[in-house]
Amino acid sequence: MPELVFFSGTMDCGKSTLALQIAHNRSARGLQGLNFTRDDRAGEGKLSSRLGLVTDAVEAVPGLDPYAYVVDRVSQGGKVDYVIVDEAQFLTPVQIDQLARIVDDLDLDVFAFGITTDFRTKLFPGSRRLIELADRIETLQVEALCWCGARATHNARTVGGEMVVEGEQVVVGDVNGLTAEVGYEVLCRRHHRRRMTSASAHAGVLSPDVLPVPSD
């Protein structure tokens, strides 16, 4: 049975690489897919991984109906055997509903890839709707690591290497641009809570948290 599958994880855990691998495996078997993405680091209409792999994709701008797009492609003689959606967290809840309709009404598998929470640890609306609707949710097995070596579970936004917790939910940046004006870094919960990025960690020694001692 066709499924809507949500592959989730932090930044830098190989989501886009897996999306491209799934497309490659199916293409090798003669299947033709349709790729959607939104705000990819490589630019509009591109699906790219940090390993340097890139392919063309449809930019899922607000207002685009993925279901209608697939129907139009097929009605014009195109072949669509499956759908891949990268950066799915940036899609609107309505667009996620349309992905579910592709599965239910067109009998096509839809593979969606995205991060679940933003730099404030709040769910992206698109990811929330995927969690509500997906037939299956898969957590990526490639673990991103915090600068301390622990498993990274949170996405942090940095400005000049300093972590920030206020601002627009969507600002395109990259985990490699840690000293740029706007960048991103993956952290463990402990260091996200302490707002301690790799840059600030090397700027000084972390003082351990201590329990308050009641006065006599």
Active site residues: 87
What angle separates helix 66-75 from helix 93-106, to the nearest 10 degrees? 40
Tokens representing 203 are 């700027």
Residue 10 to residue 8: CA distance in whole angstroms: 7
**Secondary element (H or E) of residue 163:** strand 162-164
Nearest residue to 80 via CA among 68, 97, 96, 64: 68
Tokens representing 122 are 């709040």
**Secondary element (H or E) of residue 92:** none
Collect all residues with Cβ–Cβ distance below 8 Å to 203 and sequence separation of at least 6.
none
Phi, psi at 203, each rounded to 5°: -85, -20
Q: Coil, helix or strand for 133?
A: helix
Between CA 151 and CA 159, with CA 154 as vertex, the angle to 5 degrees is: 120
**How many other β-carbons are positioned within 10 Å of the β-carbon of residue 183?**
20
